[in-house]
Chains A and B, each alone.
Chain A
Amino acid sequence: MVRAPSLALKRPSVLPGFGLSLGFTLVYLSLIVLIPLAGLVLKTAELGPAEIVHIITDRRTVAALKLSFGAAFVAAAINAVFGVLVAWVLVRYRFPGRRLFDAFVDLPFALPTAVAGISLTALYAPNGWIGSLLAPFGIKIAYTPVGVVIALVFVGLPFVVRTVQPVLEEFDREIEEAAATLGAGRWKVIARVMLPSLTPAILTGFALALARAVGEYGSVIFIAGNIPYVSEIAPLLIVIRLQEFDYSGATAVALAMLVISFGILLAINFIQAWNRRRYRND
Protein backbone atom coordinates (compact mmCIF):
# COMPACT_ATOMS: atom_id res chain seq x y z
CA MET A 1 0.00 0.00 0.00
CA VAL A 2 1.50 3.28 -1.06
CA ARG A 3 1.62 5.91 1.63
CA ALA A 4 0.35 9.36 0.74
CA PRO A 5 3.20 11.89 0.85
CA SER A 6 3.36 13.49 4.24
CA LEU A 7 1.92 16.91 3.68
CA ALA A 8 -0.19 18.18 6.50
CA LEU A 9 -3.11 18.75 4.19
CA LYS A 10 -3.44 15.26 2.77
CA ARG A 11 -4.92 12.53 4.94
CA PRO A 12 -1.82 10.63 6.11
CA SER A 13 -3.66 7.83 7.76
CA VAL A 14 -6.96 6.07 7.88
CA LEU A 15 -7.69 7.32 11.38
CA PRO A 16 -10.02 10.27 11.66
CA GLY A 17 -9.50 13.48 13.53
CA PHE A 18 -6.20 14.52 12.03
CA GLY A 19 -7.36 17.91 10.95
CA LEU A 20 -9.19 18.50 14.17
CA SER A 21 -6.44 17.44 16.50
CA LEU A 22 -3.57 19.04 14.66
CA GLY A 23 -5.58 22.16 14.03
CA PHE A 24 -6.52 22.54 17.65
CA THR A 25 -2.97 21.85 18.73
CA LEU A 26 -1.53 24.46 16.42
CA VAL A 27 -4.09 27.08 17.34
CA TYR A 28 -3.58 26.48 21.03
CA LEU A 29 0.19 26.61 20.71
CA SER A 30 0.00 29.78 18.67
CA LEU A 31 -2.24 31.57 21.09
CA ILE A 32 -0.54 30.45 24.24
CA VAL A 33 3.07 30.17 23.19
CA LEU A 34 3.98 31.51 19.81
CA ILE A 35 2.26 34.87 19.86
CA PRO A 36 3.50 35.85 23.29
CA LEU A 37 6.97 34.67 22.30
CA ALA A 38 6.69 36.80 19.23
CA GLY A 39 6.08 39.71 21.56
CA LEU A 40 9.38 38.97 23.22
CA VAL A 41 11.15 38.76 19.89
CA LEU A 42 9.59 42.00 18.72
CA LYS A 43 10.60 43.79 21.86
CA THR A 44 14.11 42.52 21.48
CA ALA A 45 14.25 43.77 17.92
CA GLU A 46 12.88 47.08 19.07
CA LEU A 47 15.65 47.46 21.59
CA GLY A 48 18.51 46.72 19.29
CA PRO A 49 21.79 45.17 20.36
CA ALA A 50 23.45 48.32 21.64
CA GLU A 51 20.66 49.09 24.06
CA ILE A 52 20.54 45.52 25.24
CA VAL A 53 24.24 45.38 25.97
CA HIS A 54 24.01 48.68 27.79
CA ILE A 55 21.29 47.42 30.08
CA ILE A 56 22.93 44.09 30.68
CA THR A 57 26.27 45.50 31.63
CA ASP A 58 24.68 47.69 34.24
CA ARG A 59 26.22 46.85 37.60
CA ARG A 60 23.00 45.92 39.23
CA THR A 61 22.08 43.58 36.41
CA VAL A 62 25.47 41.95 36.43
CA ALA A 63 25.26 41.40 40.17
CA ALA A 64 21.81 39.85 39.83
CA LEU A 65 22.90 37.56 37.01
CA LYS A 66 25.99 36.51 38.91
CA LEU A 67 23.92 35.65 41.94
CA SER A 68 21.30 33.74 40.01
CA PHE A 69 23.75 31.69 38.00
CA GLY A 70 26.35 31.34 40.71
CA ALA A 71 23.94 30.18 43.37
CA ALA A 72 22.25 27.87 40.85
CA PHE A 73 25.59 26.27 40.03
CA VAL A 74 26.50 25.73 43.64
CA ALA A 75 23.07 24.35 44.44
CA ALA A 76 23.09 22.05 41.42
CA ALA A 77 26.55 20.82 42.40
CA ILE A 78 25.39 20.09 45.93
CA ASN A 79 22.42 18.25 44.48
CA ALA A 80 24.69 16.30 42.17
CA VAL A 81 26.70 14.98 45.10
CA PHE A 82 23.89 14.35 47.53
CA GLY A 83 21.53 13.25 44.82
CA VAL A 84 23.82 10.38 43.95
CA LEU A 85 24.09 9.48 47.62
CA VAL A 86 20.32 9.55 48.10
CA ALA A 87 19.72 7.54 44.94
CA TRP A 88 22.33 4.98 46.02
CA VAL A 89 20.83 4.60 49.47
CA LEU A 90 17.28 4.33 48.13
CA VAL A 91 18.20 1.74 45.50
CA ARG A 92 20.80 -0.43 47.21
CA TYR A 93 19.79 -0.53 50.84
CA ARG A 94 16.73 -1.51 52.81
CA PHE A 95 15.82 0.51 55.87
CA PRO A 96 12.64 1.48 57.69
CA GLY A 97 10.81 4.24 55.91
CA ARG A 98 12.68 3.77 52.64
CA ARG A 99 9.58 3.79 50.48
CA LEU A 100 8.27 6.85 52.26
CA PHE A 101 11.47 8.77 51.70
CA ASP A 102 11.48 7.64 48.10
CA ALA A 103 8.05 9.17 47.62
CA PHE A 104 9.03 12.35 49.44
CA VAL A 105 11.91 13.04 47.11
CA ASP A 106 9.31 14.41 44.71
CA LEU A 107 8.01 16.93 47.25
CA PRO A 108 9.74 19.91 45.60
CA PHE A 109 7.84 19.10 42.43
CA ALA A 110 4.51 19.09 44.17
CA LEU A 111 4.91 21.89 46.70
CA PRO A 112 4.11 25.40 45.48
CA THR A 113 7.19 27.58 45.39
CA ALA A 114 5.72 30.29 47.61
CA VAL A 115 4.97 27.76 50.32
CA ALA A 116 8.50 26.44 50.10
CA GLY A 117 9.79 29.98 50.16
CA ILE A 118 8.18 31.09 53.36
CA SER A 119 8.80 27.89 55.19
CA LEU A 120 12.47 27.77 54.27
CA THR A 121 12.78 31.35 55.46
CA ALA A 122 11.06 30.52 58.73
CA LEU A 123 13.42 27.58 59.16
CA TYR A 124 16.66 29.40 58.51
CA ALA A 125 15.85 32.80 59.97
CA PRO A 126 17.85 33.63 63.09
CA ASN A 127 14.92 32.56 65.25
CA GLY A 128 14.04 29.53 63.15
CA TRP A 129 14.73 25.94 64.11
CA ILE A 130 17.87 25.59 62.05
CA GLY A 131 18.81 29.26 61.97
CA SER A 132 18.86 29.44 65.74
CA LEU A 133 21.24 26.47 65.89
CA LEU A 134 23.72 28.23 63.67
CA ALA A 135 23.31 31.78 64.96
CA PRO A 136 25.61 31.30 67.97
CA PHE A 137 28.38 30.45 65.51
CA GLY A 138 27.77 33.66 63.66
CA ILE A 139 26.45 31.76 60.65
CA LYS A 140 23.65 33.62 58.94
CA ILE A 141 21.66 31.87 56.27
CA ALA A 142 18.38 33.67 55.74
CA TYR A 143 18.59 36.96 53.84
CA THR A 144 22.03 36.13 52.48
CA PRO A 145 23.23 34.47 49.26
CA VAL A 146 23.67 31.28 51.30
CA GLY A 147 19.92 31.29 51.85
CA VAL A 148 19.46 31.47 48.11
CA VAL A 149 21.63 28.41 47.67
CA ILE A 150 19.73 26.48 50.32
CA ALA A 151 16.41 27.29 48.65
CA LEU A 152 17.79 26.22 45.26
CA VAL A 153 19.04 22.95 46.73
CA PHE A 154 15.48 22.24 47.84
CA VAL A 155 14.09 23.08 44.43
CA GLY A 156 16.56 20.95 42.50
CA LEU A 157 16.78 17.99 44.85
CA PRO A 158 14.63 15.53 42.91
CA PHE A 159 16.36 15.98 39.58
CA VAL A 160 19.62 14.16 40.12
CA VAL A 161 18.01 11.53 42.32
CA ARG A 162 15.41 10.68 39.68
CA THR A 163 17.86 10.55 36.80
CA VAL A 164 20.36 8.39 38.65
CA GLN A 165 17.89 5.98 40.25
CA PRO A 166 16.88 4.05 37.13
CA VAL A 167 20.50 3.64 36.07
CA LEU A 168 21.44 2.27 39.46
CA GLU A 169 18.44 -0.02 39.51
CA GLU A 170 19.46 -1.58 36.23
CA PHE A 171 23.10 -1.81 37.07
CA ASP A 172 24.47 -5.26 36.37
CA ARG A 173 25.77 -6.81 39.59
CA GLU A 174 28.03 -9.05 37.57
CA ILE A 175 30.13 -6.05 36.64
CA GLU A 176 30.76 -5.36 40.29
CA GLU A 177 31.58 -9.02 40.82
CA ALA A 178 33.94 -8.99 37.86
CA ALA A 179 35.79 -5.99 39.25
CA ALA A 180 36.07 -7.71 42.62
CA THR A 181 37.48 -10.89 41.13
CA LEU A 182 40.09 -8.78 39.40
CA GLY A 183 41.26 -7.61 42.79
CA ALA A 184 39.53 -4.26 43.23
CA GLY A 185 38.40 -3.47 46.75
CA ARG A 186 34.88 -2.17 47.30
CA TRP A 187 35.77 1.53 47.14
CA LYS A 188 37.81 1.04 43.98
CA VAL A 189 34.90 -0.75 42.39
CA ILE A 190 32.57 2.10 43.22
CA ALA A 191 34.99 4.81 42.16
CA ARG A 192 36.36 3.28 38.99
CA VAL A 193 33.54 1.14 37.70
CA MET A 194 30.21 2.33 39.02
CA LEU A 195 30.47 6.09 39.27
CA PRO A 196 31.85 6.54 35.75
CA SER A 197 28.89 4.73 34.33
CA LEU A 198 26.58 6.99 36.31
CA THR A 199 28.21 10.13 34.96
CA PRO A 200 25.80 10.70 32.05
CA ALA A 201 22.82 10.45 34.35
CA ILE A 202 24.45 12.72 36.91
CA LEU A 203 25.19 15.27 34.22
CA THR A 204 21.64 15.19 32.98
CA GLY A 205 20.29 15.64 36.47
CA PHE A 206 22.74 18.45 37.11
CA ALA A 207 21.65 20.23 33.95
CA LEU A 208 17.97 19.91 34.84
CA ALA A 209 18.56 21.13 38.39
CA LEU A 210 20.63 24.01 37.10
CA ALA A 211 18.04 25.09 34.56
CA ARG A 212 15.34 25.01 37.18
CA ALA A 213 17.39 26.85 39.77
CA VAL A 214 18.41 29.67 37.47
CA GLY A 215 14.85 30.74 36.84
CA GLU A 216 13.48 30.04 40.28
CA TYR A 217 11.51 32.85 41.86
CA GLY A 218 8.97 31.94 44.51
CA SER A 219 11.18 29.74 46.65
CA VAL A 220 13.94 32.30 46.69
CA ILE A 221 12.56 35.77 47.12
CA PHE A 222 11.51 35.28 50.70
CA ILE A 223 14.83 33.94 51.91
CA ALA A 224 17.03 36.04 49.71
CA GLY A 225 17.02 39.44 51.35
CA ASN A 226 16.64 41.05 47.94
CA ILE A 227 19.16 43.78 48.50
CA PRO A 228 20.29 45.16 45.15
CA TYR A 229 23.87 44.31 44.24
CA VAL A 230 24.05 41.85 47.12
CA SER A 231 21.23 39.37 47.34
CA GLU A 232 18.96 40.20 44.46
CA ILE A 233 18.24 37.47 41.96
CA ALA A 234 17.76 38.12 38.27
CA PRO A 235 14.06 37.15 38.10
CA LEU A 236 13.35 39.63 40.88
CA LEU A 237 15.11 42.31 38.89
CA ILE A 238 12.82 41.56 35.98
CA VAL A 239 9.78 41.93 38.22
CA ILE A 240 11.05 45.23 39.60
CA ARG A 241 11.64 46.59 36.13
CA LEU A 242 8.12 45.60 35.14
CA GLN A 243 6.70 47.32 38.16
CA GLU A 244 8.56 50.42 37.03
CA PHE A 245 7.01 49.92 33.60
CA ASP A 246 10.56 49.63 32.26
CA TYR A 247 9.62 46.90 29.78
CA SER A 248 12.89 47.35 27.96
CA GLY A 249 14.95 46.77 31.05
CA ALA A 250 12.94 43.72 31.96
CA THR A 251 13.26 42.28 28.47
CA ALA A 252 16.99 42.83 28.39
CA VAL A 253 17.54 41.01 31.66
CA ALA A 254 15.27 38.20 30.50
CA LEU A 255 17.24 37.91 27.28
CA ALA A 256 20.49 37.73 29.17
CA MET A 257 19.08 34.92 31.28
CA LEU A 258 17.81 33.04 28.26
CA VAL A 259 21.02 33.35 26.33
CA ILE A 260 23.28 32.31 29.19
CA SER A 261 21.01 29.40 30.09
CA PHE A 262 20.94 28.30 26.51
CA GLY A 263 24.73 28.46 26.37
CA ILE A 264 25.09 26.36 29.51
CA LEU A 265 22.64 23.76 28.32
CA LEU A 266 24.37 23.59 24.97
CA ALA A 267 27.68 22.98 26.72
CA ILE A 268 26.18 20.25 28.83
CA ASN A 269 24.62 18.69 25.77
CA PHE A 270 28.03 18.54 24.16
CA ILE A 271 29.50 16.83 27.17
CA GLN A 272 26.69 14.33 27.13
CA ALA A 273 27.07 13.66 23.43
CA TRP A 274 30.77 13.11 23.93
CA ASN A 275 29.97 10.70 26.72
CA ARG A 276 27.40 8.91 24.58
CA ARG A 277 29.88 8.40 21.79
CA ARG A 278 31.98 6.39 24.16
CA TYR A 279 29.11 4.17 25.09
CA ARG A 280 27.43 3.91 21.73
CA ASN A 281 24.65 1.71 22.96
CA ASP A 282 23.87 -1.11 20.64
Chain B
Amino acid sequence: MTDALLPANLNLPLHAGRPVTSETPFVRWLLIGIAVLFMIVFLLMPLITVFGEAFASGVGAYFDAISEHDAWAAIKLTLLVAAIAVPANLVFGVAAAWAIAKFNFRGKSIINTLIDLPFSVSPVISGLIYVLLFGARGFLGPWLDRNGVQIIFAVPGIVLATIFVTFPFVARELVPLMQEQGKLDEEAALSLGAGGFRTFMRVTLPNIKWALLYGVLLCNARAMGEFGAVSVVSGHIRGQTDTMPLHIEVLYNDFSYGAAFAVASLLALLALVTLAVKTALEWRYADELAAQRRH
Protein backbone atom coordinates (compact mmCIF):
# COMPACT_ATOMS: atom_id res chain seq x y z
CA MET B 1 0.00 0.00 0.00
CA THR B 2 1.80 3.09 -1.18
CA ASP B 3 2.00 5.83 1.32
CA ALA B 4 3.98 8.75 0.08
CA LEU B 5 5.98 10.61 2.67
CA LEU B 6 6.52 14.30 2.32
CA PRO B 7 9.89 15.39 0.96
CA ALA B 8 12.16 15.94 3.88
CA ASN B 9 13.37 19.41 3.04
CA LEU B 10 10.06 20.82 4.22
CA ASN B 11 10.10 21.84 7.81
CA LEU B 12 8.14 18.90 9.10
CA PRO B 13 6.06 19.15 12.25
CA LEU B 14 6.47 16.62 15.02
CA HIS B 15 4.16 13.89 13.83
CA ALA B 16 5.03 14.07 10.18
CA GLY B 17 4.02 11.04 8.30
CA ARG B 18 2.89 8.26 10.49
CA PRO B 19 4.76 5.40 12.05
CA VAL B 20 5.20 2.28 10.01
CA THR B 21 3.17 0.38 12.54
CA SER B 22 -0.14 2.11 12.03
CA GLU B 23 -2.88 2.40 9.46
CA THR B 24 -4.02 5.36 7.42
CA PRO B 25 -6.29 7.78 9.25
CA PHE B 26 -9.21 6.72 7.09
CA VAL B 27 -8.83 3.08 8.01
CA ARG B 28 -8.27 3.94 11.63
CA TRP B 29 -11.43 5.98 11.95
CA LEU B 30 -13.41 3.46 9.98
CA LEU B 31 -12.37 0.71 12.39
CA ILE B 32 -13.01 2.92 15.38
CA GLY B 33 -16.44 3.72 13.96
CA ILE B 34 -17.38 0.09 13.45
CA ALA B 35 -16.14 -0.94 16.88
CA VAL B 36 -17.87 1.94 18.61
CA LEU B 37 -21.09 1.29 16.71
CA PHE B 38 -20.92 -2.36 17.74
CA MET B 39 -20.43 -1.43 21.37
CA ILE B 40 -23.17 1.16 21.30
CA VAL B 41 -25.67 -1.23 19.77
CA PHE B 42 -24.81 -4.18 21.97
CA LEU B 43 -23.85 -2.53 25.23
CA LEU B 44 -25.16 0.98 25.55
CA MET B 45 -28.54 0.68 23.94
CA PRO B 46 -29.74 -2.17 26.15
CA LEU B 47 -28.59 -0.19 29.16
CA ILE B 48 -30.35 2.96 28.05
CA THR B 49 -33.47 0.98 27.24
CA VAL B 50 -33.73 -0.18 30.84
CA PHE B 51 -33.88 3.34 32.16
CA GLY B 52 -35.89 4.62 29.24
CA GLU B 53 -38.62 2.05 29.69
CA ALA B 54 -38.52 2.38 33.47
CA PHE B 55 -39.35 6.07 33.33
CA ALA B 56 -41.58 5.85 30.27
CA SER B 57 -44.70 6.32 32.33
CA GLY B 58 -43.25 9.08 34.41
CA VAL B 59 -41.38 9.35 37.67
CA GLY B 60 -44.46 8.83 39.80
CA ALA B 61 -45.21 5.48 38.23
CA TYR B 62 -41.58 4.55 38.71
CA PHE B 63 -41.60 5.03 42.45
CA ASP B 64 -44.98 3.36 42.74
CA ALA B 65 -43.59 0.30 41.03
CA ILE B 66 -40.58 0.10 43.28
CA SER B 67 -42.45 0.53 46.51
CA GLU B 68 -45.26 -1.82 45.63
CA HIS B 69 -45.59 -4.58 48.19
CA ASP B 70 -44.36 -7.56 46.21
CA ALA B 71 -41.57 -5.58 44.64
CA TRP B 72 -40.44 -4.44 48.03
CA ALA B 73 -40.53 -8.01 49.31
CA ALA B 74 -38.40 -9.05 46.37
CA ILE B 75 -35.89 -6.32 47.15
CA LYS B 76 -35.70 -7.41 50.75
CA LEU B 77 -35.27 -11.04 49.81
CA THR B 78 -32.51 -10.19 47.36
CA LEU B 79 -30.69 -8.21 50.00
CA LEU B 80 -31.12 -10.98 52.52
CA VAL B 81 -29.77 -13.64 50.18
CA ALA B 82 -26.78 -11.48 49.30
CA ALA B 83 -26.20 -10.70 52.96
CA ILE B 84 -25.86 -14.42 53.64
CA ALA B 85 -24.14 -15.60 50.50
CA VAL B 86 -21.48 -12.95 50.16
CA PRO B 87 -19.99 -13.17 53.65
CA ALA B 88 -20.12 -16.96 53.55
CA ASN B 89 -18.29 -17.00 50.24
CA LEU B 90 -15.87 -14.43 51.55
CA VAL B 91 -14.90 -16.68 54.41
CA PHE B 92 -14.66 -19.63 52.07
CA GLY B 93 -12.50 -17.69 49.64
CA VAL B 94 -10.09 -16.65 52.35
CA ALA B 95 -9.96 -20.13 53.85
CA ALA B 96 -9.39 -21.83 50.53
CA ALA B 97 -6.75 -19.33 49.47
CA TRP B 98 -5.00 -19.64 52.84
CA ALA B 99 -4.95 -23.42 52.62
CA ILE B 100 -3.78 -23.52 49.00
CA ALA B 101 -1.25 -20.71 49.11
CA LYS B 102 0.45 -21.28 52.44
CA PHE B 103 0.68 -25.02 52.63
CA ASN B 104 1.75 -28.01 50.59
CA PHE B 105 -0.64 -30.87 50.19
CA ARG B 106 -1.92 -33.14 47.50
CA GLY B 107 -5.23 -32.41 45.83
CA LYS B 108 -4.77 -28.71 45.23
CA SER B 109 -5.70 -29.05 41.60
CA ILE B 110 -8.88 -30.90 42.47
CA ILE B 111 -9.90 -28.07 44.75
CA ASN B 112 -9.05 -25.55 42.04
CA THR B 113 -11.15 -27.45 39.53
CA LEU B 114 -14.08 -27.57 41.93
CA ILE B 115 -13.76 -23.87 42.48
CA ASP B 116 -13.98 -23.25 38.75
CA LEU B 117 -16.91 -25.61 38.36
CA PRO B 118 -19.83 -23.18 38.65
CA PHE B 119 -18.44 -21.18 35.75
CA SER B 120 -18.59 -24.09 33.37
CA VAL B 121 -22.12 -25.11 34.27
CA SER B 122 -25.37 -23.54 33.14
CA PRO B 123 -27.14 -21.72 35.98
CA VAL B 124 -30.20 -23.86 35.34
CA ILE B 125 -28.14 -26.98 35.94
CA SER B 126 -26.80 -25.35 39.09
CA GLY B 127 -30.35 -25.12 40.32
CA LEU B 128 -31.22 -28.56 39.03
CA ILE B 129 -28.67 -30.31 41.25
CA TYR B 130 -30.33 -28.88 44.35
CA VAL B 131 -33.77 -29.86 43.15
CA LEU B 132 -32.54 -33.38 42.54
CA LEU B 133 -31.39 -33.52 46.12
CA PHE B 134 -33.94 -31.53 48.05
CA GLY B 135 -36.91 -31.31 45.73
CA ALA B 136 -40.27 -32.97 46.36
CA ARG B 137 -39.21 -35.95 44.26
CA GLY B 138 -35.55 -35.62 45.12
CA PHE B 139 -33.36 -37.96 47.09
CA LEU B 140 -33.84 -36.17 50.37
CA GLY B 141 -37.27 -34.83 49.52
CA PRO B 142 -39.38 -37.27 51.47
CA TRP B 143 -37.13 -37.03 54.53
CA LEU B 144 -37.28 -33.25 54.48
CA ASP B 145 -41.01 -33.38 54.06
CA ARG B 146 -41.40 -35.67 57.06
CA ASN B 147 -39.37 -33.28 59.17
CA GLY B 148 -41.12 -30.19 57.92
CA VAL B 149 -37.99 -28.68 56.41
CA GLN B 150 -38.55 -26.69 53.27
CA ILE B 151 -35.51 -26.06 51.12
CA ILE B 152 -36.72 -26.03 47.57
CA PHE B 153 -39.46 -23.50 46.92
CA ALA B 154 -38.29 -21.63 50.00
CA VAL B 155 -35.62 -19.20 50.99
CA PRO B 156 -32.99 -21.78 52.06
CA GLY B 157 -32.98 -23.23 48.56
CA ILE B 158 -32.50 -19.81 47.08
CA VAL B 159 -29.62 -19.13 49.41
CA LEU B 160 -27.96 -22.45 48.60
CA ALA B 161 -28.29 -22.01 44.86
CA THR B 162 -26.95 -18.48 45.08
CA ILE B 163 -24.01 -19.62 47.17
CA PHE B 164 -23.20 -22.29 44.63
CA VAL B 165 -23.20 -19.89 41.74
CA THR B 166 -21.18 -17.19 43.46
CA PHE B 167 -18.67 -18.96 45.68
CA PRO B 168 -15.83 -18.93 43.14
CA PHE B 169 -15.54 -15.16 42.84
CA VAL B 170 -13.64 -14.36 45.98
CA ALA B 171 -11.59 -17.54 45.87
CA ARG B 172 -10.50 -16.99 42.27
CA GLU B 173 -9.21 -13.55 43.10
CA LEU B 174 -7.39 -14.60 46.24
CA VAL B 175 -5.85 -17.95 45.36
CA PRO B 176 -3.50 -16.84 42.59
CA LEU B 177 -2.65 -13.63 44.39
CA MET B 178 -1.81 -15.29 47.67
CA GLN B 179 0.13 -17.99 45.89
CA GLU B 180 2.18 -15.32 44.20
CA GLN B 181 2.74 -13.51 47.47
CA GLY B 182 4.09 -16.65 49.10
CA LYS B 183 4.55 -17.28 52.80
CA LEU B 184 7.55 -15.12 53.59
CA ASP B 185 5.69 -12.25 55.19
CA GLU B 186 3.65 -14.52 57.42
CA GLU B 187 6.63 -16.62 58.43
CA ALA B 188 8.53 -13.46 59.30
CA ALA B 189 5.66 -12.28 61.45
CA LEU B 190 5.48 -15.60 63.23
CA SER B 191 9.17 -15.63 63.91
CA LEU B 192 8.74 -12.24 65.55
CA GLY B 193 6.20 -13.73 67.90
CA ALA B 194 2.86 -12.86 66.39
CA GLY B 195 0.08 -15.38 66.77
CA GLY B 196 -1.81 -16.90 63.84
CA PHE B 197 -4.80 -14.62 63.97
CA ARG B 198 -2.76 -11.49 64.44
CA THR B 199 -0.51 -12.47 61.59
CA PHE B 200 -3.52 -12.84 59.40
CA MET B 201 -5.05 -9.53 60.39
CA ARG B 202 -1.92 -7.42 60.35
CA VAL B 203 0.14 -9.06 57.61
CA THR B 204 -2.00 -11.08 55.22
CA LEU B 205 -5.12 -8.97 55.09
CA PRO B 206 -3.46 -5.71 54.09
CA ASN B 207 -1.71 -7.50 51.26
CA ILE B 208 -4.92 -8.86 49.80
CA LYS B 209 -7.39 -6.15 50.63
CA TRP B 210 -7.94 -4.84 47.11
CA ALA B 211 -8.31 -8.27 45.58
CA LEU B 212 -10.68 -9.11 48.40
CA LEU B 213 -12.78 -6.05 47.72
CA TYR B 214 -12.78 -6.84 44.01
CA GLY B 215 -13.91 -10.41 44.61
CA VAL B 216 -16.63 -9.33 47.02
CA LEU B 217 -17.85 -6.78 44.51
CA LEU B 218 -18.22 -9.34 41.74
CA CYS B 219 -19.68 -11.89 44.14
CA ASN B 220 -22.29 -9.44 45.28
CA ALA B 221 -23.23 -8.36 41.77
CA ARG B 222 -23.79 -11.94 40.75
CA ALA B 223 -25.58 -12.85 43.98
CA MET B 224 -28.10 -10.10 43.58
CA GLY B 225 -28.54 -10.66 39.88
CA GLU B 226 -28.66 -14.45 39.66
CA PHE B 227 -31.66 -15.62 37.73
CA GLY B 228 -31.39 -19.09 36.21
CA ALA B 229 -30.39 -21.08 39.27
CA VAL B 230 -32.74 -19.23 41.58
CA SER B 231 -35.59 -19.53 39.13
CA VAL B 232 -35.33 -23.29 39.25
CA VAL B 233 -35.35 -23.62 43.05
CA SER B 234 -37.65 -20.83 44.00
CA GLY B 235 -41.17 -21.81 43.08
CA HIS B 236 -41.99 -18.24 42.19
CA ILE B 237 -44.23 -17.59 45.16
CA ARG B 238 -44.90 -13.90 44.92
CA GLY B 239 -44.02 -11.95 47.95
CA GLN B 240 -42.16 -14.87 49.45
CA THR B 241 -39.71 -16.59 47.20
CA ASP B 242 -39.22 -14.02 44.48
CA THR B 243 -35.92 -12.27 44.32
CA MET B 244 -35.64 -9.10 42.27
CA PRO B 245 -34.64 -10.86 39.03
CA LEU B 246 -37.51 -13.29 39.44
CA HIS B 247 -39.90 -10.50 40.22
CA ILE B 248 -38.85 -8.80 37.04
CA GLU B 249 -39.83 -11.92 35.16
CA VAL B 250 -43.15 -12.07 36.95
CA LEU B 251 -43.97 -8.46 36.15
CA TYR B 252 -42.85 -8.88 32.57
CA ASN B 253 -44.98 -11.96 32.01
CA ASP B 254 -47.90 -10.00 33.46
CA PHE B 255 -47.32 -7.34 30.84
CA SER B 256 -46.49 -4.80 33.56
CA TYR B 257 -43.56 -3.63 31.50
CA GLY B 258 -43.11 -0.31 33.21
CA ALA B 259 -42.94 -1.93 36.61
CA ALA B 260 -40.64 -4.67 35.37
CA PHE B 261 -38.20 -2.13 34.02
CA ALA B 262 -38.48 -0.04 37.15
CA VAL B 263 -37.26 -2.92 39.28
CA ALA B 264 -34.72 -3.79 36.60
CA SER B 265 -33.38 -0.27 36.71
CA LEU B 266 -32.39 -0.74 40.34
CA LEU B 267 -30.31 -3.75 39.38
CA ALA B 268 -28.92 -1.86 36.41
CA LEU B 269 -27.88 0.90 38.78
CA LEU B 270 -26.16 -1.68 40.93
CA ALA B 271 -24.41 -2.96 37.81
CA LEU B 272 -23.16 0.51 36.96
CA VAL B 273 -21.85 1.05 40.47
CA THR B 274 -20.19 -2.36 40.33
CA LEU B 275 -18.59 -1.49 36.99
CA ALA B 276 -17.38 1.85 38.26
CA VAL B 277 -15.78 0.48 41.40
CA LYS B 278 -14.39 -2.48 39.47
CA THR B 279 -12.77 -0.24 36.89
CA ALA B 280 -11.41 2.07 39.55
CA LEU B 281 -9.84 -0.87 41.36
CA GLU B 282 -8.38 -2.24 38.14
CA TRP B 283 -6.82 1.06 37.17
CA ARG B 284 -5.29 1.80 40.51
CA TYR B 285 -4.42 -1.55 41.89
CA ALA B 286 -3.59 -3.63 38.87
CA ASP B 287 -0.63 -5.26 40.60
CA GLU B 288 -2.58 -6.34 43.63
CA LEU B 289 -5.40 -7.89 41.66
CA ALA B 290 -4.69 -11.41 40.59
CA ALA B 291 -7.10 -11.66 37.71
CA GLN B 292 -7.19 -8.25 36.24
CA ARG B 293 -8.65 -8.99 32.88
CA ARG B 294 -9.84 -12.50 33.02
CA HIS B 295 -13.06 -14.02 34.14
Contact = CB atoms under 8 A, between A and B. Distances in A.
B103 A39 contact: no
B121 interface: yes
Contacts, number: 292
B245 A35 contact: no
A18 B104 CA distance: 10
B146 interface: no
Category for how many chain B residues contact A: 35 or more
Interface string A1-26: 00100111000111111101110110
A154 B245 contact: no
| Interface residues of chain A: helix, strand, loop or mixed (majority) | helix
Contacts of A247: 131-132, 135, 137-138
A257 B264 contact: no
A55 interface: no
A37 B232 CA distance: 16
The prevalent SS among residues of B at the interface is: helix
A193 to B, nearest CB: 11
B104 A13 contact: yes
Contact of A254 (B128, B160, B228): B128
A245 B235 CA distance: 12
A22 B103 contact: yes
Given A12-B103, A163-B294, A261 B248 contact: no
Nearest to B252: A118
Interface in A118-132: 118-120, 122-123, 128-130
B53 A119 contact: yes
A215 interface: yes
B114 interface: yes
Nearest to A29: B114
B123 A217 contact: yes
Contacts of B232: 238-239, 242
Contact of A105 (B21, B39, B95, B276): B39
Given A101-B39, A130-B41, A247-B131, A15 B46 contact: no
A184 to B, nearest CB: 10
Contact of B138 (A39, A89, A95, A257): A39
From A115, A129, A257, A265, residue with most partner B Cβ within 10 Å: A115
Nearest to A163: B294
A166 B293 contact: yes
Interface in A191-224: 208, 211, 214-218, 222
Contacts of A257: 122, 125
B103 A113 contact: no
A280 interface: no
A50 interface: no
Contacts of B123: 113, 215, 217-218, 235
A263 B290 CA distance: 29
27 contacts: A7-B105, A13-B104, A15-B183, A20-B95, A21-B98, A22-B105, A32-B164, A36-B164, A39-B138, A82-B35, A89-B31, A89-B35, A89-B36, A104-B44, A106-B278, A107-B47, A112-B245, A114-B248, A115-B267, A118-B248, A119-B50, A186-B23, A217-B228, A235-B228, A239-B231, A247-B132, A251-B128
- 5 pairs of A and B residues whose beta carbons are closest in the complex: A215-B122, A112-B225, A16-B196, A218-B227, A217-B228
Given A13-B102, A112-B226, A115-B271, 19 more contacts: A8-B106, A13-B103, A15-B102, A22-B95, A29-B111, A36-B129, A37-B129, A86-B39, A95-B36, A104-B39, A106-B279, A107-B271, A112-B224, A122-B49, A128-B49, A162-B295, A165-B293, A215-B121, A265-B120
Interface of B: 1, 20-23, 28, 31-32, 34-36, 38-39, 41-47, 49-50, 53, 91-92, 95-96, 98-99, 102-107, 111, 114, 117, 119-125, 128-133, 135-139, 160, 163-164, 167, 183, 186-187, 190, 195-196, 199-200, 218, 221, 224-228, 231-232, 244-246, 248-249, 252, 257, 260-261, 264, 267-268, 271-272, 274-276, 278-279, 293-295
Interface of A: 3, 6-8, 12-18, 20-22, 24-25, 28-29, 32-37, 39-40, 42-43, 82, 85-86, 88-90, 92-93, 95, 97, 101, 103-120, 122-123, 128-130, 153-154, 157-159, 162-163, 165-166, 173, 176-177, 180, 185-187, 208, 211, 214-218, 222, 235-236, 238-239, 242, 245, 247, 250-251, 254, 257-258, 261, 265
